[in-house]
Amino acid sequence: MSEGIDFDEEWVAEMERIYRTASMAERRRRIRNALALDPGEHVLSIGTGPGFESRGLAEDVGETGRVHGIDTAEPMLTVARERCAGQPQATFEQGDAADLPLEDGAFDVATAVQVYEYVPDLDAAFGELYRALRPGGRAVVFDSDWSTMTFHAADEARSERIISAFDTHCPHPRLARTLKPRLERANFEVTEQDVYVHFETELNEDAVAAAMIPPIREFVTEQGGIDEAEAEAWVKDLHERAEEGEFFFNFNQYLFVAEKPAEGA
């Protein structure tokens, strides 16, 4: 059985490649728009990753604000600190989403972007999110439904086996389907919801599909029970689709804005 992804230096490098794509930059823009930050606000970034998001949030809150990034993986935090080195309002700390090392009500705003699908204890994690926000605070929670990830392949059965094997990289590969009721059970009010679609019909080396193929191949051969020959044949198949003008990639992720009730509400 898969143990999931180990977010080591090699995986951080893969993540950086993915996060540099235009589609991910647009995703960050959409999230910042949904947050609608004001200068001076205190923002918690749960699962801050390599710091792309934190850098943008720090720009939005300015020098009078604060962005505090939490991540379980020290290699991620190292890169995030480097990326935000010129922004003293951005700080980082190792910690778990299900056990945040923070005082109650310390933040006006929180983000958790593609984080909770990797957290085994969701009840604890949503309880910690609620605790960390001040009354009236808000959060953007953004997660995936990995069943929507589709590559067109000549051998569809093989492609489906590989994508299914990749599902085991996180404990909640379909989390987006139940995010709204889970947040509501944690006493949040869901005020906005949206879908973000990664959709490509060309295999562009600077886009998400091309960036995703190597880590998928690596994971399914190391932990997903797929042999090297089958994985290589899958990659070759995708490149042949691209050469013949038949490439297709789709992946859906979902955004929810959740608000903690104000005192007395």
**pLDDT tens-digit map of 164-205:** 999 999 999 999 999 999 999 999 999 999 999 999 999 998
pLDDT of residue 8: 67
Flag whether pLDDT at 20 surpasses 90. Answer: no
Question: 53: closest CA among 31, 78, 33?
Answer: 31
| In the chain, domain spans | 9-146+170-198+253-259
For residue 21, the model assigns a pLDDT of 87
Determine the pLDDT at residue 2: 39
pLDDT of residue 10: 72
> Each residue of 83-105: pLDDT tens digit?
999 999 999 999 999 999 999 99
What is residue 220's predicted lDDT score, i.e. its pLDDT? 96
Quote the percentage of the chain above a pLDDT of 90.
Answer: 86
Q: Indicate whether 81 pLDDT > 80.
A: yes
What are the tens digits of pLDDT across the range 30-49?
999 999 999 999 999 999 99
- 13 or 181, which is more confident? 181
Q: Is the pLDDT of residue 118 over 70?
A: yes
CA dist., res. 85 & res. 209, Å (int): 30
What is the C-alpha end-to-end distance of the chain, expressed in Å?
Answer: 46
Which pLDDT band, with edges at 50, 70 and 90, does 22 fall under?
Answer: confident
9-146+170-198+253-259 CATH pick, 3.40.50.150, 3.40.50.2300, 3.40.120.10, 3.60.20.10:
3.40.50.150
Percent of residues, the chain, with pLDDT higher than 70: 95
Q: What are phi and psi of 95, to 5 degrees?
A: -175, 170
d(CA 254, CA 45): 17
| 3-class DSSP assignment, residue 164 | helix
Question: Which of 188, 144, 182 has the alpha carbon at shortest distance from 166?
Answer: 144
In this predicted structure, what is the pLDDT of residue 1?
A: 30
pTM of the model: 0.91
Query: Mean pLDDT across the stretch 127-143?
Result: 98
Instruction: Give the mean pLDDT of 150-175.
Output: 96
Dihedral sign for Cα atoms in the order 49, 52, 58, 61: negative
Higher pLDDT, 184 or 50: 184
Taking alpha carbons only, the member of 46, 98, 118, 101 closest to residue 77 is 46
pLDDT score of 15: 77
For residue 146, what are the β-bridge partners?
none
- Assess whether pLDDT exceeds 50 at residue 247: yes
Q: Look at residue 13 in the predicted model and tell me its pLDDT.
A: 78
**126 in Cβ contact with 117 (< 8 Å):** no
Other Cβ atoms closer than 10 A to 80: 26
